[in-house]
Chain A
Amino acid sequence: MSELKTSAAIEQKSVWLERLLFGFRPLWFVAFAVLTAFLAWHASMVRPEASFTKMIPTNHEFIQNYFKHQRDLAGMGNVVRIAVETTEGDIFSAEYQRVLRDVTDEVFFISGVNRSGLRSVWTPNVRWSEVTEEGFVGGPVIPDTWDESEQSLEQLRSNILRSGELGNLVASNFKSALIFVPLNEIDPDTGEALNYADFSEKLETLIRDKYESDTIKIHITGFAKVIGDLIEGAEQVAMFFLIAIVITLLMLYWYSRCWRSSFTVLVCSIIAVVWQLGIIELIGSGINPYSMLVPFLVFAIGVSHGVQIINAIGNNRFAGFDNLASARLAFRGLYIAGLTALVSDAIGFTTLMVIDIKVIQELAIAASIGVAVVVLTNLGLLPIIMSYVGISPSGRRYAEKSHNETHSILAFFSNFSKPKWAYPALAVAFVGLAWGLVYSADMKIGDLDAGAPELRPDSRYNLDNQFIVDNYSSSTDIFVVMAETEPGSCVAYQNLELMDQFSWHMQNTPGVQDVKSIVYVAKMGGFGLNEGNLKWFSLNRNQYVLNANTSRAPSGLVNPACSMAPIIIYLNDHKAETLKTVVASVQEFNANYQQQGLSLLMAAGNSGIEAATNSVIEQAQTKMLLWVYGVVIFLCLLTFRSIRTVACIILPLMLTTVMSQGLMAVLGIGVKVATLPVIALGVGIGVDYGIYIYTRMKEALEQGKHLDDAYMYALETTGKAVGFTGLTLAIGVATWMWSPIKFQADMGILLTFMFIWNMLGAMILIPALARFFANFTPARKG
C-alpha cells in the first residue's frame, strides 16, 4: 500500500469555507451536537395539529363571510350520527330497543355532547303530534306505558309513523335507528375546546366495542369522527418513516457496500429532520397532515446529497488521499453544485407561498427550512464525520471495482445520445405528452369521492357513511348561504319571502337535494296552526302570524340577534362541478332578485368552504405552475446562458408535469390542497437532475468532446448518483401509498411518479434532446 496523501498536500487550492469547516472540526462537532440536542428537545414537543382554519383560504370572500357568522353557525353540522342496526328482524323487538336505549344513555354522558340537542327514539324531545278538532295533540314517541310488550312495540311503531321521523331517526326499512348527537365545540362548563381524538376514541370504546355484536352493528359518522380517524391515521405515518429509513439504509449499503458511510449519511439525514422539526416548533408552528410530507422530503433530499459526498470521498480515497483530505476534496468539489441544487429546491418550494391557504404556505416554509438545514447537516456535518470515520475497506474495494468497469445500466442510458435511440425516445415522449394532454383535460378540481374524501373510500368511516346515506334522508354535503338582515329582522315578512324564492330557485338547481331554513319552519307553522290544511303552507304578511309560526323553530335556524338565518342546501355530492353549479346559481339569483336589507351571502357548511377552496386552487394552479417554471427557467438561464440548454432541461420536466396531470385524471385524484403542492415539489426537485447532468455534459462539450462522449462522461460522474437519488426520493415517499389517509396516499403516488419520471426524463430525454438540437441547429457540431 502506498503512502496516502494528507491534507497538507491539498491546502493550497482550498477555499475559505472549506478552511472554516475543516479548520475547527472538534468545535463544529460540539456545536452540531449541542444544536441537535437542543432542537431534538424542541422536536419532541411538536404537536400534530389539524387546524380547520389553516386548511381553508381565509382571505376568500366566502370564508370571510363565514368567519363573520362563525359563532352563530357553530354547532351546525358539527354533529355525530350513530346508527344502531339490527341484522336480525327489525327494530320492533324488546332486545333491540334495550340496546338503543342503553346506547342513547351512554352517549348522553360522553363529555362534549350537547345533551339538550341529543335526539333518538329514546329521548323525550322526539315526539309525535296530530291535529284534532281541539288543536295539536302529541306525546313522546316511546309510549308512557312502555313495558317491552307486543302492545308497547305496536304503539311505538304507530308513534314513529306519526312523528315524521321515518327517514330521519328511523330507517324506512325499520332495520336501524339513528342517534343524532350535536356537539359543543367549547365545553360550556370548563370552557375547554372539544378534544376530537379523545371524543372519537370514546365513541369506539364506549359505543362500538361495547354494543356491537352478532346481531347489532354500529355505524358512526360526523366531522368529529373524521378528525379522530385522521389523527389516528396520521400517527401511523411514524411507522412509514421507520420503513423508509430501513429501506434507505439497505439501498445506501447496496450503493456503497460500506456500513460506516451508510450510517453516517443516514444519521446526518435524520439529524436534518430533527432540526427541521425543532425549528418548526420554535417558530410556533405544528405539523399537520399535509406538512407531514416534509420530513420525508428532507430525509430523502439529505440522503441524495449525502450520497454525492460519500461517492466523491470514495473516489478521492481511491485516488490515494487520506480520510481528511478525501473529505475536504469532496466538499471542495461539491459545495457549489450542492448549494445550487438546494437553493433551486428551496426557491421551488417557496413559490408555493403564492397560494393563499395556510397549510400550503406552512408546508412551503417547512420544506424551505428543511432544505436549508440539509445544507448544514449534509454538506457541513457529513464531511466532518466522514473525515474521522473514513470509508471502510469493503467500501473501498467496491468503489475500486465499479470504477474499473462501466456499469451495464450506464451503458444502456448512454445510447440515448445516439440518433438511433434518441429519436424513438423522443417519439415515445411525444406520445406520452399527447397522452398527458388528452387525459389532463379531464383533471378535476376538488374532491371526487363520496363521504369523507380525507379517508379511503373503503375505510370504516366511509362505509358507515354510505350506510347512513343509503338508509336516511339527510345528505352530508352541506352548502350554507347566510341570509343577513338588520338586527331583529331575520323573520320579517319581506325577508322571508325572498328567502323562500331563493330556496325554490336553489331547489331547482341540478345537484341540490333539499333546502331547509327558517322559511320552511314558518311555512310548516302555517300548515300546522291552520288545522293541518296544506293550503296554508305559506308565509303571511302579518308579522304576528309569522312570529307565531316560527316560534317552534329549532335552535340554530336564526341567530340570537335575529340578524342572520342560515339557508341550508343539501347536495348530492361535493364534486367541483356540483359546487360550481351551486355557486353560479346563487350568483344568478342575487343578480336577478333583491330585497333591501337582506343579503344572501355565500358560504358556510363543508361544501361551501370546499367551493371557496376549489376556486382558490383553480386560480392558484396556473399561477403556481407559471411561478415554478418561471423561477426554474430563470435559474437555468442564469447558470447556462443558453436557451437550447434550458429547453433540454425544462422540456422533460414539463412532460412529467403534463403526464402527472394525466395520471391524476386517470386515477381519479383531484387537484386539492394536498395535491396542488406536489407538482411544485416535483418540479423543484426534478430540475436538480437536469442541472447535474447538463453541467457535466457542458464541461465535456467545452473540452471539444463529441456529444456521445460528453454524455458518457456525465453518466460516469453523476449518472449513477442521479439514478440513486431518484430511487431514494421515490422510495422515501412511496411508503405513503399505504397511508389510511387518502390524500397522503395521493401525494405519495404522485411524488413517486414524478421523482422516477423526472429521473428517467433527465437520463433519457436530455441527451436525446441535445442530439435533436445538435442535428437541427447549425450552431454547434454534434
Chain B
Amino acid sequence: MIKATACHSVLLGLTLTLAPVVVAANDFDIITAPAMVAPLATKATLTEITQAGEQAIAVGDFGVIVRREAAGAWQQAAVPSSVYFTAVDFANAKHGWAVGHHGVIVHSTDGGATWQTQLDGFALIDLQITAFEQRLIDLQQQLDSGELDDDTLMVVEEQLMSVEFLLDNARFAKEEGPTRPFLDVIALSEDIVIAVGAYGTAVRSTDGGASWQVLDAQINNPSEFHFNALATDGTALYLAGEQGLLFKSDDQGASFYEIEPPYSGSYFGLFVDTQRRLWAFGLRGNVFYSDDQGASFAQVRLSNRVNINAAADAYDGGVYLVGNAGMVAHIDATGVVQEINHPSGATLTDVLVMPDQSLTLVGQQGVLTMPAMAQK
C-alpha cells in the first residue's frame, strides 16, 4: 500500500518568489477570452446543474454554460470568460450567478442566455488587500485603545497575526495572479449573493454583485482550509469545507459561526431537502443529516466508499445522492438506501431530478441521463 498526502502549495509559494509573468498584449487570457463555441459543450466536464424557472442550466470547463428549456435541446450560452466554472445558482428564473477558477464571477439577468463578468481574481486580490489592510488598522486601533481585557487582547492579537498572514498571501498573489478558485455560490435573493472557495476565500454582495465584500478575515479558518459548499433552509445559511469545517449564519451570510461537525473529513456538499432536513456529505461515502438545523447529526451508511458530491430531492420525499465512480444512491424518507452505479463509471458532481423522475446528471463526461430508479 502507498500513501501520499494532499499538499497545500500556497505555503510553498510563500517561501519562494517567482518572476512576474510577462503577458504579451494579444496573448490568450483565460479570464477575458470569451468561451469557445463548442458543438460538444454538453460533453465538457460539468460541475453543477440547477433550475432557473423552467430551464435546466449547467456549468463547467472552458467557460461552458449550457441551458435547456423544459423539453428542448441544450444550447450553449454566450459567456465572456473561458474559466472552469465550479458552481451556479439562480435567485429566480432570471437572475443567476456562476463562479469558477481564477476568481471569476459571472452574472445573468436573462435566465442564463447572456452573462457579464462581475469579478475576477485580479480584482478580488485588490479587494482582499484593501479589506485586510482595513482590518489590520481596525485591530491595531483596538489594541492601541488599551481598553481590552487580557482574554480579548489575546484573541485580537491572534486575529492580527492571521490577518497579517492573509495580507502577505494576498500581496504575493498580486504578483503570481489568482490561484484560488471559487467552489460554490448561493443567491439568497436578486441582491444577496455569497461565493466561497479555496483557502477560505469568501465574498458577499448585497447589491446583486455590483460590489463585493471580502469575508475571509471574518470567518474563523486559521488553517486556510477550502470552503466547499453553501446551503440554506430559508432562515439559516450553512457553509461547509475541508477537514470537517462547518459554519452557520443567521444573518444571510453577513457573519458565520462554527457548529459541531459530525465528521472531521472533508465535506463536498450541503443540501436542504423539502422536509427542511440538512444533508452534509463528502469524502469516502460519508453522509450525515440533521433535523434540528445542525445541532445534531445522524449518519447514513453507504456500502460504496466513494466521494459524495451532490444531492437532490426525489419525488417520493427522499433524496438522490451522486458521487465519484458513477455513484448514484437513493435514500427514501424512511432512510432506506438503494445504491446503483451509472454505467459510465464517470465521476458525477450534480444531479437534477426531472418531472418524469428520470435523472439528469453532470460530471466528468458532461451531461448524462439515467432512467428513474425502480422503487424497492
Contact = CB atoms under 8 A, between A and B. Distances in A.
A135 interface: yes
From B28, B33, B84, B265, residue with most partner A Cβ within 10 Å = B28
A577 interface: no
Contact of B47 (A501, A535, A545): A535
A493 interface: yes
10 contacts: A137-B3, A501-B36, A504-B44, A504-B62, A505-B36, A508-B38, A531-B242, A533-B309, A537-B364, A543-B18
Contacts of A132: 283-284
A667 interface: no
Nearest to A545: B9
A347 interface: no
Interface string A588-604: 00000111100000000
B303 interface: no
Given A494-B27, A541-B178, A534 B1 contact: no
A504 B36 contact: yes
A531 B307 contact: yes
Given A139-B2, A532-B324, A593-B33, 7 more contacts: A136-B2, A501-B62, A501-B82, A504-B38, A534-B45, A541-B177, A545-B9
Contact of A534 (B36, B82, B265, B349): B349
Interface string A129-140: 001111111110
A131 B23 contact: no
Interface string B28-45: 101001001011100111
A537 B45 contact: yes
Interface string B9-27: 1101100101001011011
A172 to B, nearest CB: 10
A542 interface: yes
Contacts of A545: 9, 179
A368 to B, nearest CB: 51
B266 interface: yes
Contacts of A426: none
A248 to B, nearest CB: 58
B58 interface: no
A296 to B, nearest CB: 49
Interface residues of A, number: 43
A559 to B, nearest CB: 23
From B16, B43, B82, B84, residue with most partner A Cβ within 10 Å = B84
A497 interface: yes
Contacts of B16: 544
B36 A530 contact: no
A593 B40 contact: no
A540 interface: yes
A593 B28 contact: yes
B330 interface: no
A774 interface: no
B258 interface: no
Interface string A114-140: 000000000000000001111111110
Contacts, number: 126
Contacts of A134: 3, 5
B232 interface: no
Contacts of A633: none
Contacts of A538: 61, 84, 101, 181
Interface in A260-287: none
B228 interface: yes
A535 B1 contact: no
Contacts of B84: 537-538
Interface of A: 131-139, 161-162, 166, 493-494, 497-498, 500-501, 504-505, 507-508, 529-538, 540-545, 548, 593-596
B7 A531 contact: no
Given A138-B2, A545-B179, A593-B28, A507 B18 contact: no
B2 A137 contact: yes
Interface in B80-119: 82, 84, 86-87, 101-102
B317 interface: no
The secondary-structure label for the interface of chain B is loop
A542 B179 contact: yes
B221 to A, nearest CB: 17
B164 interface: no
B4 interface: yes
A136 B309 contact: no
B7 A548 contact: yes
B6 interface: yes
Nearest to B243: A133
B363 interface: yes
Nearest to A127: B2
A278 B364 CA distance: 62
From B9, B178, B345, residue with most partner A Cβ within 10 Å = B9
B347 interface: yes
Interface string B170-183: 00000011110101
Nearest to B24: A596
B288 interface: no
From A132, A161, A508, A541, residue with most partner B Cβ within 10 Å = A541
A594 B26 contact: yes
A262 B39 CA distance: 68
Contact of A494 (B18, B23, B181, B284): B23
- Top 6 A-B pairs, shortest CB-CB distance: A535-B86, A596-B24, A545-B9, A135-B5, A541-B177, A538-B84
A507 B40 contact: yes
Contacts of A138: 1-2
A166 B345 CA distance: 10
B98 to A, nearest CB: 13
B349 A535 contact: yes
Contact of B228 (A135, A505, A533): A533
B40 A508 contact: yes
Given A535-B349, A596-B27, A139 B1 contact: yes
A500 B82 CA distance: 11
B268 interface: yes
A548 B176 CA distance: 17
A524 to B, nearest CB: 10
B39 to A, nearest CB: 5
B272 to A, nearest CB: 20
A516 to B, nearest CB: 14
Interface string B48-76: 00000000000001100000000000000
Contact of A532 (B26, B179, B307): B307
Contacts of A493: 21
B206 to A, nearest CB: 26
B197 to A, nearest CB: 9
Interface in B305-336: 307, 309, 324-325
A535 B364 CA distance: 10
Nearest to A533: B268
A137 B1 contact: yes
Given A537-B45, A544-B16, A135 B179 contact: no
Nearest to A527: B347
A536 B30 CA distance: 16
Contacts of B12: 544
Contacts of A533: 228, 266, 268, 307, 309
B179 A595 contact: no
A708 to B, nearest CB: 67
A132 B21 CA distance: 36
Contacts of A540: 179
B47 A530 contact: no
Nearest to A129: B2
A83 to B, nearest CB: 21
Contacts of A136: 2-4
B62 to A, nearest CB: 5
A593 to B, nearest CB: 5
B38 A542 contact: no
A3 B307 CA distance: 110
A505 B6 CA distance: 31
B6 A530 contact: yes
Nearest to A528: B6
A487 B18 CA distance: 17
A133 B284 contact: yes
